[in-house]
Structure 1
Amino acid sequence: MYRLVTAAAAAAALLQPLAATGQAPAAAARPDRTAFRELYRELVETNTTSSVGDCTQAARQVATRLRAAGYADSDLTIYVPEGRPRDGGLVATLAGSDAKRPALLLLAHIDVVEAKREDWQRDPFKLIEEDGYFYARGASDDKAQAAIFADTMIRLKQRGTAPKRTVKLALTCGEEGSNERVLNGAGWLVDHRPELVRAGFAFNEGGGGRTAPGGGPETLGVQVAQKSPRNFILEVTDRGGHSSQPRPDNAIYRLAAALTRLSTLRFPVKLNPVSLAYLAKAGALRKDATGAAMVRLAAAPGDPAAAEAVSRDLALDPLLRTTCVATMLEAGHAANALPQRAAASVNCRIVPGETADETRAAIERVVADPQVKVLRSKIQERPVAESAPLDPAILTPIAAVGAKHFPGVPVIPTQSAGATDATYLSKIGVPTYGIPGLWNDPATAGTHGLNERIPVDALYRGRDYIYDLVTYVVQR
């Protein structure tokens, strides 16, 4: 990787004044936020679910805003995969003055998880500001960052001078894909138009941070590692028959028993340098028994008592081990017939260093029933995740700009229990970092669930932080 500057030089340079953000409440009016909020609102209120949404429309709307900011048509690529008219995306390029400096790629997905109006307290496709939060599907994941990245490209263009380093923006569809019908846009670009997204390094979602008890960020996370999602199907088939003649080998009962046994499956603890560093640093910040256990586990990864204490925190347990969970059921063909087939979808998140075959074997052992087949799902799978290097040339600016915007808040490298499109970029050698700035409370954020939200303060202060970070990096 092209070295931005040495860590010491980066820190020294960042002592120079950056754009002032201060600690003013997010509600305070700032004229520059008006256009950004409208961009964010338009993106959020454009339905981009896989069932009925239209990512291509959303991409074109952002492209219109970039053109208005001065981007030429030659700087913008709206790509629409063949036969997928609603799965398009956008790549925008702001050329740098030094072609020898590898580009920075800003990657964000604009598709969202499904949301049913009858389940939500508010319309999921209407941006609502209430009690210090923005509510909507995609308010956080990932349209907050997509809007900020697009806004950053606009602001960079409006500066009137080219950055030293080329900066690219890729807004893609299909990251939230949960069935075989979904096409991943980042993967499509890597396979079909790699020149559009090739870069020296990339900034992505997945970092963020946790909310402090009094508001604001408690930590700033930089995602450098992630688990690999793999999906399996537990399937039972039977000859079926008339429901008036029930049998004990009912396919639904057999599957239910298998799922009950699956619920007891617990994989062994498997830590790596990133998860060990997180346990040590994040644990030291906590003033409770869990924090003390995190520090002990980091120092002695084989300590079973410490591992058990950390595992009791549901947000921390996935950091320690592979996890598998049943997510969907399908069974039967008629209300008055014995089921001929019963199946369950099982989503696994595999820690670095383990394989899908090992995970499948563990499921088969705990199910312990040859009549229950454990099959690989037809869902399109991401490549196996590769960790980005803990490069001071990247991490030092992230932390130093963070100190300007969030004084005293530590920056901690993290391993995500989820998965992002960084896995696709690793196929073409682009190390990808989930950057901080957009903190949230995992317990109430509603990500992939009901009433998704993000603190208004996090959105606006995160916008300022990310703009300053990108501005600094593309000038080095």
Structure 2
Amino acid sequence: MKHGGQLLAGAAALAGVMVGGVAAAQDAPLRPDQAAFRALYKELVETDSSITTGSCTLLADKVEKHLRAAGYGDADITRFAVPDHPKEGGLVVILPGTSKTLKPILLLGHLDVVVAKREDWTRNPYEFVEEGGYFYGRGASDMKAMDAIWIDMMARMKKEGVKNKRTLKLALTCGEETSWAFNGAQYLANNKRDLIDAEFALNEGGGGRTSGSGGKVIVQNMHVGEKTVVNYRIEATNPGGHSSIPIPDNAIYELSDALVKLRAFDFPLMLNDTTKAFFAKAGPARGGDMGKAMVTIATAPIGSPESKAAEALLNTDRSYHSMLRTTCVATLLDGGHANNALPQRAGANVNCRIFPGVPAEDVRATLAKVIADPKMTVKQVDDRGPLAKSPPLTPFIVGPAERLVAKYYPGVPLVPVMSTGATDGIYLEAVGIPSYGPPGLYGDPDGSGAHGLNERAIVKAVYTGREFLNELVTEYANK
């Protein structure tokens, strides 16, 4: 196809020689399509779309101009927002396919970023800087590189008259980074379900990891499922009194006792298809005793001596410990009302990341049982969304990704992973649209500064990831 001709033929020129699974740095000048993509990416990063100082709506306006310049019209573009959140709007754009029977593919991206303060950063967070093999700027990795890839892909396909079998839909939303914001993905799922209807969605959460500092790519991940985020408040109350005549019955002491119990408690081991596949495939690559334990946990019956021994070792790694169960941790404290008074109230926020399929009420009941103090209350105060559902690992989804990982990153395993964090895919899965985070992009194991200082993306990862994801979407759209 014309689309595949220019972009995919350039993949070899981009990659040059493959070094340890990583494309060698590109010495040649950027191709025209790469230069246009870089300019788009730069514009996205340099537009502040944080919830406090920026505007997703402004960035959506700029994206709409790009799409209209590519040939999309009123019938193809839908803008959305709500009156009480005018700066948190988004858009949906549709590229029709030729098939009347194959369901569409939805590309999802959030435009918002975590706020960044200039005085804390080495560089201006809202200035796009290329330096030392990295792109720097707020959103450079989370997730404006992927946003730029999706927008660039949709624009070029329209300009070049590409006719895929499946319709492609792109939804760019706000609110993913802030629990109290207007969440565009949730709004679309609940109010515009037909607009975003798709067989499946491609979203953030996947991608690879290097050995460190932009080095060798050691793994590529397919994000399949995630935990549910729920907050609970545990609270002790007391009549209080004068501090000059203390008694053991003290709300702060009771709260402290409860938190000590929670610290010592582990939710039981749980596994699903995604985590079993992760440990089974990542174990051999890890090697050593930890690698053996990873394989054992995926294969031995839960509760067997082998499983218990493997679990004990895996629990020493905080990431593996979290993947194997629901976790809860105290994150905020408050209590008392005066220096010279016995506390009448003391409370704590407990932030839980709930394993897919476990009801939030079951977790609340477990917390109350562990605390075992009838004088204390345990209440659910909020949640980030619906109960998490893990999408199926099907050959249709995994097969093309595996082939392209072998092509672009020879010798690097593709490993499915369940996120212990959260994405907007949870809202899609709740209405029957499975959401996957594809491989292709990659970053350093320290998180590349996402949500923190001096956020960055590896230059060659962005360009190679663009080629990879264009080829992956093209294959999905024509299967």
TM-score (norm 2): 0.87
Change (3 A) 1:263 1:128: farther
- After the TM superposition, which residues 381-396 of structure 1 pair with which residues of structure 2 at under 5 Å, given as runs? 381-396=384-399
Contact 2:389 2:430 in 1 (8 A): no
Shift of 1:337: 7.3
Correspondence for 1:353 = 357
Correspondence for 2:184 = 185
The reply to whether residue 208 of structure 1 matches residue 207 of structure 2 is yes
For the residues of structure 2 that align with 1:209 and 1:151, how far apart are their CA atoms?
A: 21
For the residues of structure 2 that align with 1:230 and 1:189, how far apart are their CA atoms?
A: 22
Shift of 1:197: 0.6
Contact 1:60 1:78 in 2 (8 A): no
Letter in 1 for 2:264: T
Contact 1:18 1:468 in 2 (8 A): no
Superposition RMSD in Å: 2.7
Shift of 1:221: 1.0
SS in 2 for 1:375: strand
| Pairing partner for 1:328 from 322, 325, 332 | 332
SS in 2 for 1:295: helix
Contact 2:11 2:464 in 1 (8 A): no
Correspondence for 1:150 = 151
SS in 2 for 1:187: helix
- After the TM superposition, which residues 26-37 of structure 1 pair with which residues of structure 2 at under 5 Å, given as runs? 29-31=29-31, 32-37=33-38
Deviations 1:9-30 (A, max 9, x none): xxxxxxx978534233157531
Letter in 1 for 2:171: A
For the residues of structure 1 that align with 2:217 and 2:313, how far apart are their CA atoms?
A: 25
Correspondence for 1:273 = 273
The reply to whether residue 406 of structure 1 matches residue 405 of structure 2 is no
For the residues of structure 1 that align with 2:457 and 2:339, how far apart are their CA atoms?
A: 43
Change (3 A) 1:17 1:41: closer
Q: Bigger shift: 248-257 or 406-415?
A: 248-257
SS in 1 for 2:357: coil
For the residues of structure 2 that align with 1:27 and 1:363, how far apart are their CA atoms?
A: 57
Correspondence for 2:25 = 25
SS in 2 for 1:346: strand
Letter in 1 for 2:329: V
Contact 1:265 1:363 in 2 (8 A): no
Change (3 A) 1:328 1:463: farther
Change (3 A) 1:28 1:342: farther
- After the TM superposition, which residues 115-264 of structure 1 pair with which residues of structure 2 at under 5 Å, given as runs? 115-178=116-179, 181-212=180-211, 215-237=215-237, 251-252=251-252, 254-264=254-264
For the residues of structure 1 that align with 2:464 and 2:323, how far apart are their CA atoms?
A: 28
For the residues of structure 1 that align with 2:134 and 2:252, how far apart are their CA atoms?
A: 43
Gaps of 5+ in 1: 1-15
Shift of 1:119: 4.2
Change (3 A) 1:409 1:158: farther
Gaps of 5+ in 2: 1-7, 16-22
SS in 1 for 2:152: helix
Change (3 A) 1:63 1:253: farther
SS in 2 for 1:316: helix
Q: Bigger shift: 277-286 or 358-367?
A: 358-367
Shift of 1:83: 2.1
Correspondence for 2:425 = 422
For the residues of structure 2 that align with 1:18 and 1:391, how far apart are their CA atoms?
A: 30
Contact 1:261 1:367 in 2 (8 A): yes
For the residues of structure 1 that align with 2:378 and 2:364, how far apart are their CA atoms?
A: 7
For the residues of structure 1 that align with 2:253 and 2:208, how far apart are their CA atoms?
A: 43
Shift of 1:70: 1.9
Shift of 1:237: 4.3
Change (3 A) 1:243 1:402: same
Contact 1:96 1:163 in 2 (8 A): yes
The reply to whether residue 462 of structure 1 matches residue 461 of structure 2 is no
For the residues of structure 1 that align with 2:112 and 2:191, how far apart are their CA atoms?
A: 20
What is the percent sequence identity of the aligned residues?
A: 49
Contact 1:228 1:349 in 2 (8 A): yes
Matched length: 458
Change (3 A) 1:18 1:454: closer
Deviations 1:44-99 (A, max 9, x none): 23233333432111111111111122222321111112322112111011111223
Contact 1:105 1:197 in 2 (8 A): yes
